[in-house]
Amino acid sequence: MNCFSNQTIALAKKELQSALNSPATYGVWLFFIFFTNVSFFYLQRFFSLDSASLRPYFQIIPLVYTFLIPAITMKSWAEERKTGTAEILLTMPFSEWDLVLGKFISACVILIIALLLTLSVPLSLFPLGDFDKGVLISEYVGTLLLGMAAISVGLLFSSLAKNQISAFLGGVVVLLAIMLINQLTSFIDLPKLLADFLNYFSLAFHFESFAKGILDSRDVLFFLLVTVLLLFVNTRILQFRKWS
């Protein structure tokens, strides 16, 4: 299987063009920049921390993603089902992987553009302190990997939902649960085995090492496996609908 076939690229371009023609996409970018900057500079009071670190900026990312990613992915399949174009796509000479990867790549590009827009923050702060460039790279790598895993969750729920609203709400609830489930171990005294189990399935828990500037291969592998597994499940759902 060629993951990036001509069909996949063509579908990704179509999805991306549609997204760029939608005011909602620009609203998503604006929300992302506004919320993260307000949280970092005002709520977390960066200038009073007296520390050349962007760790507080990235610590809020898992929570922001619980709303940002469903907003990006909610249209992907739910809109296709509503307009009836999903059935047309399934009858065209595209494999299920072509369809899923096309939408996944498009969503990732939208996310990458959002992350590129945040570069104005570190670039504007570099003259004010001795920031560790290696730590910053690790933080951005983790943010992208976390986003890819979250996108695969959002696409899965969009394929199950009947409309955009249910796709968005379902994505928010599930992402909130799997992002922050590790917080239970902080507030509740759980047996170590149970705490480790909950932490392992928490996306935010695996993001913590990146936020600290540590590129842990185990966390990289976790995010990649989650992404591939959920994309595979999405293809099975499409295959089931194709033959049902």
pLDDT score recorded for residue 154:
93
Measured CA to CA, the distance from residue 2 to residue 6 in angstroms comes to: 9
- pLDDT of the chain along its 244 residues, tens only? 455 678 888 888 988 998 899 898 999 999 999 988 888 878 776 666 666 678 888 888 999 999 999 999 988 877 776 666 666 666 676 788 888 999 999 999 999 999 999 998 888 887 777 778 888 899 999 999 999 999 999 999 888 888 888 889 999 999 998 888 887 777 777 788 888 888 888 898 999 889 888 888 999 999 999 999 999 999 998 888 665 5
The SS3 assignment for 94 reads coil
Measured CA to CA, the distance from residue 152 to residue 113 in angstroms comes to: 18
- In contact, 117 and 138? CB cutoff 8 Å: no
pLDDT score recorded for residue 115:
95
pLDDT score recorded for residue 85:
65
- In contact, 87 and 66? CB cutoff 8 Å: no
The SS3 assignment for 140 reads helix
Measured CA to CA, the distance from residue 12 to residue 155 in angstroms comes to: 14
- Residue of 4, 84, 78, 68 whose CA lies nearest to 35: 68
pLDDT score recorded for residue 25:
92
pLDDT score recorded for residue 116:
95
pLDDT score recorded for residue 1:
43
What's the CA dihedral at 98, 102, 104, 110 to 10 degrees? Answer: 170
Q: Count CB-CB contacts under 10 A for residue 79.
A: 16
**Cβ neighbours for 100, distance < 8 A, ≥ 6 positions apart:** 155, 231, 234, 235, 238
pLDDT score recorded for residue 82:
65
Question: Any idea where the domains of the chain sit in the sequence?
Answer: 6-243
